[in-house]
């Protein structure tokens, strides 16, 4: 069963270049993605995929994120 997750998404030049689930704010140690020069940071809620076991599934997930953010490309 899929569930809704919160993601940080980094985009650059119309491409999804990185995603990371937003960590539990009560976690002892946290780290996170940051946008660099020329990049944009987005926070979205999206259905979590059932599997991200191979590059095809990862690409499909990035494509769904790109569609959600209305950007044209993903790597």
For residue range 14-35, list pLDDT tens digits in order. 889 889 988 777 777 778 889 9
Does a structural domain hold residue 39?
Answer: yes
Total structural domains in the chain? 1
**β-bridge partners, 19:** 9
Does a structural domain hold residue 74?
Answer: no
**Range of 59's domain?**
4-69
Does a structural domain hold residue 75?
Answer: no
Does a structural domain hold residue 33?
Answer: yes
Does a structural domain hold residue 63?
Answer: yes
Q: pLDDT at residue 55 above 50?
A: yes
Closest alpha carbon to 34 in 47, 46, 44, 43: 43
- Record the pTM: 0.78
CA distance 44 to 4: 10
Does a structural domain hold residue 43?
Answer: yes
Confidence of residue 73 (pLDDT cuts 50, 70, 90): low
Confidence of residue 1 (pLDDT cuts 50, 70, 90): very low
């Amino acid at each position: 069963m899929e569930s809704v997750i919160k993601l940080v998404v980094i985009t650059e030049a119309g491409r999804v270049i990185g995603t990371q689930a937003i960590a539990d704010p009560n976690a002892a140690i946290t780290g996170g993605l940051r946008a660099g020069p020329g990049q944009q940071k987005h926070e979205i809620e999206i259905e979590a995929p059932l599997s991200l076991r191979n590059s095809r599934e990862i690409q499909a997930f990035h494509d769904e994120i790109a569609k959600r953010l209305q950007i044209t490309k993903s790597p």
